Amino acid sequence: VELNNAINFIEEKDNFLLTTHINPDGDGLGAILGLVGLLKRLNKKYSIIFHDPPQEKLSFMERINEVRVYDESMTRDGLYDDAIIIDVPHLDRIGDVAKLLKKGAHILNIDHHVSNERYGTSNLIEPSASSSAEIVGSIFERMGVELDHASAQAIYVGLSVDTGRFRFNNTTPEVFRLAEKLIKAGVMPDIVSDKLYYNKNMETTIALGKMLSTIELHNGGRVATGYLDNEFLNSDVGKKVDTEGFVNHPLAINGVEVAFLIQEPVKGQIRVSLRSKTDFDVNKLANVFGGGGHPRASGCRIDGSVQEAKEKLLEATKSRLDPL
Ligand code: 5GP
Ligand code: MN
């Protein structure tokens, strides 16, 4: 039903504002650029506008040049009646792009976060989908639209990133069935993988070494923490670092169920990446601090120092760990 409503929304309207969350990642961007192929095929008009530029490593994606970053002057060109918002659980996560929505604008909300607030006029929310890109794939399929190369590649990027390279427990038979179609449409897994994961600058590798040296185990080895402080992140080296994936190193230690990467990009403002490899629900844990995400991958912000944030996280974790 939701899928049909979403298709009706796309078919009925002619000009869309397309956006995703702040700090767009491979799934948000991949789902948008994937959907663009479908909109082109249907001869629809659209504008892709994000609050932030997408991650640098995503610059290889076809159609990336169609993405514009919000600026104040855009409001003068008129506001949008219709928007498709993807991979965004709460509307405030689209940032300033909200200023481009006309009052009472129609919104199609496409997402796979359990916590999605269903803020759309139409909502296509599939928590069982691995990624928002997978949902976009299912729209192509239901509408019988052939996958062009750029869309296939974009959807593949979303799948790969949100399944942790086809590794997490959201890597379902459906994911592989879709991946088969994407590869048949011309996606080269080795090339996409190199661009996404084997394309790091030296600064990032130096930062990884630093972070690894901070790893500590807690709760009898069931919880691991690692951090990068403000002094480092603000240094010439630190500014060039992309820490995506760092949290997987403490998580990979045997016996560890939950890992936190604690970063202080701004003095006194902590950003935490939370990961789990058991039933321990880090979405619920992130909720305690006003954050969220998925049961096994979430994020939150905490005011204070690295040390204070670590103590708060460990305190909140202790009571939630299942007895062994
Ligand atoms: P990461 O640790 O990779 O930055 O984020 C992991 C996941 O947590 C993201 O896919 C996103 O769903 C969620 N997330 C990250 N930061 C925040 C945040 O500040 N608030 C909320 N609600 N979710 C977040
Ligand atoms: Mn996603």
- Assess contact for 228 and 207: CB atoms under 8 A: yes
- Assess contact for 259 and 247: CB atoms under 8 A: yes
Q: Whose CA is nearest to atom 13 of ligand 1?
A: 293
Angle of CA points 89, 259, 20, to nearest 5° = 20
Angle of CA points 286, 240, 202, to nearest 5° = 110
Which residues, including other chains, have CB under 8 Å from residue 129's CB and lie 6 or more apart? 112, 135, 138, 170, 174
- Assess contact for 257 and 301: CB atoms under 8 A: no
Cα–Cα distance for residue pair 279/68, rounded to 1 Å: 39
pLDDT digits (tens, 9 = 90+) for 35-58: 999 999 999 999 999 999 999 899
Q: Name the residue of 21, 298, 303 to mutate for ligand 1: max ligand atoms within 8 A of Cβ.
A: 298
Instruction: Name the band, by pLDDT with cuts 50, 70 and 90, for residue 198.
Output: very high
| Ligand 1 pocket by Cβ (under 6 Å) | 113, 273, 291-293, 297-301
Task: Work out the average pLDDT over 272-283.
Answer: 96
Q: How far is the CA of 282 from the centre of ligand 2 (A)?
A: 16
Task: Work out the average pLDDT over 183-208.
Answer: 97
Does the pTM surpass 0.85? The reply is: yes
Instruction: Name the band, by pLDDT with cuts 50, 70 and 90, for residue 324.
Output: confident
Q: Whose CA is nearest to atom 15 of ligand 1?
A: 299
pLDDT digits (tens, 9 = 90+) for 70-121: 999 999 989 999 999 999 999 999 999 999 999 999 999 999 999 999 999 9
Measured from the Cα of 162, ligand 1's closest atom is 10
Looking at the chain, the whole-number percentage of residues with pLDDT higher than 70 is 100
Cα–Cα distance for residue pair 103/93, rounded to 1 Å: 18
**Tokens 């590798």, residue located:** 205
How many Cα atoms sit within 13 Å of 52 on the Cβ side?
A: 13
From residue 25, give the alpha-carbon distance in Å to each of 70, 88, 236, 301. Answer: 16, 11, 24, 18
pLDDT at 108: 98
Mean pLDDT over the full length of the chain: 97
- Assess contact for 127 and 144: CB atoms under 8 A: no
Q: How far is the CA of 77 from the centre of ligand 2 (A)?
A: 30
Cα–Cα distance for residue pair 69/29, rounded to 1 Å: 13
3-state secondary structure of 176: helix
Has residue 322 got a pLDDT over 90?
A: no
Measured from the Cα of 294, ligand 1's closest atom is 12
3-state secondary structure of 220: helix
Which one, of 122, 144, 115, 108, lies nearest residue 31 by Cα? 108
- CA 95 distance to own-chain centroid: 15
Task: Work out the average pLDDT over 249-254.
Answer: 98
Q: Whose CA is nearest to atom 11 of ligand 1?
A: 293
Q: Which residues have CB less than 5 Å away from ligand 2 (the ion)?
A: 27, 87, 132, 162
**Tokens 């199609």, residue located:** 108
- Assess contact for 258 and 317: CB atoms under 8 A: yes
- Assess contact for 270 and 303: CB atoms under 8 A: yes
